[in-house]
Chain A
């Protein structure tokens, strides 16, 4: 994994995640991030910065939280829903590059439970929702050793994604 990663998203799609989190409050929302990921040669003359991941969210696939037991502090996307989201991504010429969910009345930081259940490579956006209002939004990627998440910068595009 590159040392520094960034996730690009339009302001419109970022707002849609916030709205989804507010709508499902006090339950957690969840959905798939659809887009592209590519390793671009940033500067071939500079070995330290030779490769940097270029990852952009170009669509969302909101999903129902399938955790019926504890939806206030858990979310679940079943394998069937993952397959449905993958099909939706393929139909748009995109792929699933990550997932988003909300933390109702909790900070936008991954919990131990998040880490224990995370997959590598995916971007995990977390939006914190306090008293029904969406606040901080962060993104994380699981380290190769599964021991912790690394923060991923969110770069907001003010114009619509291409």
Chain B
């Protein structure tokens, strides 16, 4: 079943300048694996070295944040759209107050 992944602007340079890509997948995690297999340079920007999604990478299945579903095990169905939405963080020192 085909699932579309929307690629955010800052990552398109690592995905052949494409804004979306389609993969056959039955879970969100499988679709993301397909994405990072096809575009290996994306992996370090989406996942930590331990293979977990980075904290500031938000993944939505249609309009639902997968953190509130079954995370990467969230099942997908034909025609679903997965969106990768950045959250932005920073600050002037390493340690919080």
- Beta-carbon nearest neighbor of B13 in chain A: A121
What range describes how many residues of B lie at the interface?
A: 20 to 34
Number of A-B contacts (CB under 8 A): 97
With A111-B91, A114-B90, A117-B56 as known contacts, state yes or no: A74 contacts B96, CB within 8 Å: yes
- Whether A120 is near chain B, meaning CB under 8 Å from some CB there, is yes
B10 at the interface (CB under 8 A from A): yes
A117 near B13: Cβ-Cβ < 8 Å: no
Q: What DSSP secondary structure best describes chain B's contact surface?
A: mixed
When chains A and B are docked, how far (Å) is the Cα of A20 from the Cα of B56?
Answer: 24
Is B9 positioned at the interface, with any CB of A under 8 Å from its CB?
A: yes
Question: Provided the pairs A79-B86, A120-B10, A121-B11 are in contact, do residues A111 and B93 lie with their beta carbons within 8 angstroms?
Answer: yes
Q: A89-111: which residues lie under 8 A (CB-CB) from chain B? A: 95-96, 99, 101, 103-106, 110-111
Distance A74 CA – B97 CA, assembled complex (angstroms): 9
Kindly list chain B residues whose C-beta atoms are within 8 Å of the C-beta of A83.
Answer: 85
Which residue in B12, B45, B97 is a CB contact (below 8 Å) of A70? B97
Contacts of A74 in B (CB 8 A): 89-91, 96
Q: Tell me if A112 and B56 are in contact (CB < 8 A).
A: no
Would you call B45 and A119 a contact (CB within 8 A)? yes
| Residues of B close to A114: CB separation below 8 A | 90-92
Beta-carbon contacts under 8 Å, A42-92 to B? 67, 69-70, 72-79, 82-83
Q: Nearest A residue to B10 by beta-carbon distance?
A: A121
Alpha-carbon distance between A102 and B2 when the two chains are bound, in angstroms:
43
Report the separation of the CA atoms of residues A101 and B90 in the bound assembly, to the nearest whole angstrom: 8
Whole-angstrom distance between the Cβ of B88 and the nearest chain A Cβ: 4
Footprint of A on B, CB under 8 Å?
9-14, 41, 44-45, 55-56, 58, 60, 65, 85-97
Q: What are 15 A-B interface contacts by the 8 Å CB criterion?
A: A28-B91, A72-B97, A73-B97, A74-B90, A75-B90, A79-B87, A101-B90, A114-B91, A117-B88, A119-B10, A121-B11, A121-B13, A124-B90, A144-B41, A145-B44
